[in-house]
Amino acid sequence: MSAQQESPASIRGMGDMFKGLGRKLAAGEAGTLLVLLMVGAIWTFFQSQNSRFLSPGNLTNLMLQQAAVATISIGVVLILLLGEIDLSVGAASGFCAAVMVVLMVLHGVQPVLAVLVALATGALIGLFNGFMVTRFKIPSFVVTLAVSLTLVGLLLYVLGDTGTLNLSDNFVTALTSTFFPPLIGWAVASVAIVLILAAALFGRSRRSKAGLKVGSLGGLVFTVVAIAAAIIAMVFIFNEDRGLPLVVCIVFALALAFAYLTERTRFGRHMFAVGGNAEAARRGGIKIEHVRMLVFVLGSTLAAAGGILAASRLMAVNQSSGGSDLLLMAIAGPVIAGTSLFGGRGSVWSALLGALVIGSIANGMDLLSLASSVKYIVTGGVLIAAVTIESVTRMRRHGGMIE
């Protein structure tokens, strides 16, 4: 009897869950699910055009290619949450990587110290950007665009006449060339799944004790199972190739740390408040100038970290480091994955999902040997579509009219 009563209830629960997902998709509140569906569609299309696309080797290379972009995008997300923009992250990544390599190769500085100096250089760049934006009230896109041009000049200056410096130090190159054996990969996956389950249950318990609305248990189980399946699939793919890459662990650790910062700390709540309504945040006692300056510092430091990872993978820095379409990809990724350009809305995880979308498109077009002109047109078209969708859902959320 009990089973007969529970079965219809379970079916209604699942039905309500899918109806809720449908409403959230229509309202633009289920961005993660939408991006995952987008990734599925992209992968299906390119696999149908080239059977090597979903091979373990190509998917592992895709992750390695996007590690630097994802790291820079995490910093971009923080700045976008404020409703600001930083157009210097690409140039900052290239310049900071050049500083690191010049110190190591030309001046014999210890690798650890050179990496720290590169990160500190990134922090100083962010401090300058934040100071100019908050002290002189100059729009962030003007300040960071000017800084970007300056950094390109500094990059050419520090590299000198050679224009290219090769990197052979094991400490730095190991960041992107280290792969863990299968047993360690499965151990890492098991720990990650247990932590995700514990965090989900703990968060649900805290909301329940605080008297806040909690989602259905079925929805929580569905989410945890889906994430666990994705982690298991990812580790399986890595193990079919060279193993779990160290750089993937680094990027996920950074994302986890900054997700905690934005979602679980007072400073994170202040960031959302400033991005949502700066004047209301100021009247609420939040020191918005301090918040802005610190976020610019974090954004540029992460850009420097991304530059270090890029130099590690390429084993060199040159005059084009941090250039080309790196800035476009670092900003486009989070926007495509749902982070608002208007501030106050977004997630650090959108940096990883966006990098996956942008990287999958670029990787697939490379496999199809499409011309560079086509790649830029397609990438720009995807960004325009994402921004349009975000703008439409924002207007719906605020009850605006679309003319």
Lookup: tokens for 129: 């950007």
- Which pLDDT belongs to residue 309? 96
Q: What is the pLDDT of residues 361-398, one digit of tens each?
A: 989 999 998 888 888 888 888 878 877 876 777 676 66
The two tokens of residue 318 are 């040159």
Give the number of other CB atoms < 10 A from CB of residue 227.
Answer: 15
Whole-prediction pTM: 0.88
List the chain pLDDT tens, one digit each, 403 residues: 444 444 555 555 556 656 666 666 555 555 677 788 888 889 999 999 999 999 999 999 999 999 999 999 999 999 999 999 999 999 999 999 999 999 999 999 999 999 999 999 999 999 999 999 999 999 999 999 999 999 999 999 999 887 889 988 788 999 999 999 999 999 999 999 998 888 888 888 887 887 777 777 777 888 889 889 989 999 999 999 999 999 999 999 999 999 999 988 999 999 999 998 888 999 988 999 999 999 999 999 999 999 999 999 999 999 888 887 888 889 888 888 888 888 888 889 888 988 898 899 989 999 998 888 888 888 888 878 877 876 777 676 666 544 4
pLDDT in the model for residue 401: 47
List C-alpha distances in Å: 154 to 46, 91, 160.
40, 10, 10
Within a 13 Å sphere around the CA of 182, how many CA atoms are in the beta-carbon half? 6
Within 10 angstroms of residue 263's Cβ, the number of other Cβ atoms is 14
pLDDT at 101: 94
CB 278 within 8 A of CB 342: no
Q: pLDDT for 104-133, tens place per residue?
A: 999 999 999 999 999 999 999 999 999 999
Torsion of CA 225, 229, 230, 232, to 10 degrees: 140
pLDDT number for residue 403: 40
Q: How far apart are CA 214 and CA 233, in angstroms?
A: 29
- Looking at residue 4, its pLDDT comes to 47
* pLDDT confidence of residue 382: 80
| Three-class DSSP category at 221 | helix
For residue 338, the model assigns a pLDDT of 80
